[in-house]
Amino acid sequence: MNKPVFSMIKKHLVTAVTACLGFAGCSYAPPEPIPVVISQKEVSYLDDVKPVLDKRCVTCHSCYNSPCQAKFSSFDGIDRGGSKEKVYLAERLFSQKPTRLFTDAKTTEEWRAKQFFSLTQNSAEDGFNNSIMGHMLYDKKQNPEVIGEYAPEYDDVICAETLEEVSEFQDKHPNHGMPYGFPALNDKEYGIIMQWLVQGAKGPDEAKQKALQTPSVSAQTEIDKWERFLNTDDAKHAMTARYLYEHYILAHLNFKQAPNEFYALVRSSTPPGEKINVIPTLRAYDDPKRDKFYYRFEKIYSTIVHKTHIVVELDDSKFKFIKALFIDESWLEEPHVIGYDDNVLNANPFLVFAQIPPASRYRFMLDESEYFVRTFIRSPSCRGQIALNVIQDHFWVMFQDPRYDIGVTEKNFLVEQAQNLRMPIETGSDKKIYKVFSDSYRELYEQFYDAKMQKIAEVAPNGWPIEGIWKGRLASDSPALTVYRHFDSASVHKGTVGQLPKTMWVIDYAQFERIYYALVVGFDVFGNVSHQTNVRRYMDFLRLEGEINFVLYMPENKRKEILASWYLGDGIADDIQKGRDSAPAIHNSIVFKTDTPKQELVETLVDTHFIKETGIHFDDINYFRTNESIPSLPKVYKTKADYEQGLRALTAPGTGFVRHIVDNGVNIAFVRIRMKNAEDIFGTFVINRWHDNVN
């Protein structure tokens, strides 16, 4: 009997004898090494292995929520290995040290000191492999059926650190080999990975690794220009650079001269021209603890994945725009550098950047409105339905025009209100547990809201005209955005997508900045339960503020009714009305012609207000104008128009199709309609569930 066949029989015998049947003290023997047919061809990580990992593994193994923190989007992540520590652990009582790839450790030894273990190490003799990765792939090949329900991001998967734990996992979780919940690698893919593991699981050599990290010549020219700007010594440039850095921390920065390259803006201890040495701080506003540091553009060479790919394009027009906003404008104070020695101050952008005109800050954010809203939705804070249930399943977002925003026009207002604009992020990652249900930030928020309403009543007693909603200035602008929540994830789309939503937001500068700092800059995914819960609660106030900003454009006699319909059983509309009764009235300057003002307003905005160059228009399938009837299902389906009519008919409330989909727990499904003699139609079914109240 040949050796590989004998080993396979032996493996199954060992598994049967050592299977733990629930008796106390039972232990597991390591699985037998996997037989691998040896090839003389040297397997290349970049040419052979990476394409397989990108196609079959990176979908799950790329972000914060990678099972066992095993990230396969770069060799750095593979070499780092796995960990038993969970990143997402909502109930943790104390914060844990961050384990961000490329940031919190630089070498294999440093990661091992942080309790990461190898998934590729092989100590078997020639012709065999006993790496953890190899066993998980082999188990799937032997047991390819996908049985039961799989939720890779949420299932409590054992992170096997030893071969004994691999045996335990395989015994307790049959049909859970890798790729988890998906079909096995095909023979060619499996052969490539197993050969690579047997050959030592090597990464790119030094020359190829350097090539991965080195910008192209065309990109380097742009990098040099931007780094000179960001590292200019005077106070104006220094504070501008700090503002840009804190607002670009999730951006994949792209230069038009190098369209396929993306960069991260980082703080480095080394100046331009030298190798980047990233300064690892937990938050972007934390003290770098250097007398001198530099802003640098670090090339991203990990596999690009949707969750983290939020692009900002940098070109000459953007450079001139930023220079005009921040450098050419006169500041409210003599420009001076703010230090990092006060953590509470650092967490309050209304104080740190008070010297920069609010108009400059807000216009910068409006210019990248789609990027910033996407950072809210895709940041580490927005993972899982507990975080996402702060928003409705479908809503539209618009923005207050800077000319009608008291946070901009009343230049001292936000500084005067800075104490009320404090956020729970100022307490750090280990806020005391008994503070979980503290109302201190709610009280601060209410004081700000009252002051805001008073100020609006002073400067605009007749309310805002329709011009109060930002119309955009460039074709690339996004004056209207659509947010879809898919239970435990969400997405952002330019324009007014879908049917008329239940709720809508109008975001003003103070709200925009606070959402960004609460959910992105100041949120610590490694923080304790109190930190994360208080950020979640604070987001309730910010969501409500955006909704009230929209409601202020509605007729006075409709406002309470509209708000009450969004918060059934809450009584919040009564509370707001009581506060309004004791405050100066804010009237309405828009004359409505119908008894459906919400729909009338958005149709006016889309039809005549937003600049045409943005291309914002209503959804051809889902949107129905006032009094427009829903069509019936076609008798036959031959043309694209027939299918579009059928899809429009499916949006009718209470159809059997919608009930069937909802009853089966589907939130989102991708659809392909095969057409005869025409291009196939591709689309997405999205189920918008009704929430009585998300407060």
pLDDT one-digit tens code per residue, 501-548 = 999 999 999 999 999 999 999 999 999 989 988 998 999 999 999 999
For residue 84, give both structure tokens.
């038993």
pLDDT at 10: 42
Q: Check: CB of residue 470 under 8 Å from CB of residue 609.
A: no
**What pLDDT score does 157 carry?**
67
Residue 587: closest CA among 447, 408, 459: 459
What is the C-alpha to C-alpha distance for residues 426 and 285, in angstroms, rounded to an integer? 11
* Cα separation, 522 vs 421, whole angstroms: 14
Tokens 């006016």 sit at which residue? Answer: 604
Tell me what pLDDT residue 303 has.
97
In this structure, the number of other CB atoms found within 10 A of the CB of residue 334 comes to: 7
Q: Spell out the residues 6+ positions from residue 620 whose beta carbon is closer than 8 angstroms to its own.
A: 644
127 and 36 Cβ atoms separated by less than 8 Å: yes
In one-letter notation, the amino acid at residue 572 is I
Rounded to whole angstroms, how far apart are CA atoms 325 and 327? 6
Listed as ranges, residues in the chain with pLDDT below 50 are 1-25
The token pair that represents 130 in the structure block: 């006993």
Q: What letter would DSSP give residue 520?
A: I
pLDDT of residue 579: 56
Residue 290, CB-side half-sphere exposure with 13 Å CA sphere: 15
Tokens of 167: 């045996």
HSE-CB for 314 with a 13 A CA cutoff: 26
Work out whether strand 251-255 and strand 310-314 pair parallel, antiparallel, or are unpaired. parallel
Q: What is the reported pLDDT for 623?
A: 94
CB-based contact 168:28 (threshold 8 Å): yes
pLDDT of residue 156: 66
Residue 114: predicted pLDDT: 96
Length of the chain: 695
State residue 386's pLDDT score: 67
Distance CA 230, CA 271 (A): 11
Give one word for 208, left, alpha or beta, with left for phi > 0 and alpha for psi -120 to 50: alpha
Tell me the whole-structure pTM to 2 decimals: 0.92
The amino acid present at 367, given as its one-letter code, is D
Residues of 236-261 as b/e, b for ≥16 C-beta within 10 angstroms? bbbbbbbbbbbbbbbbbbbbeebeeb
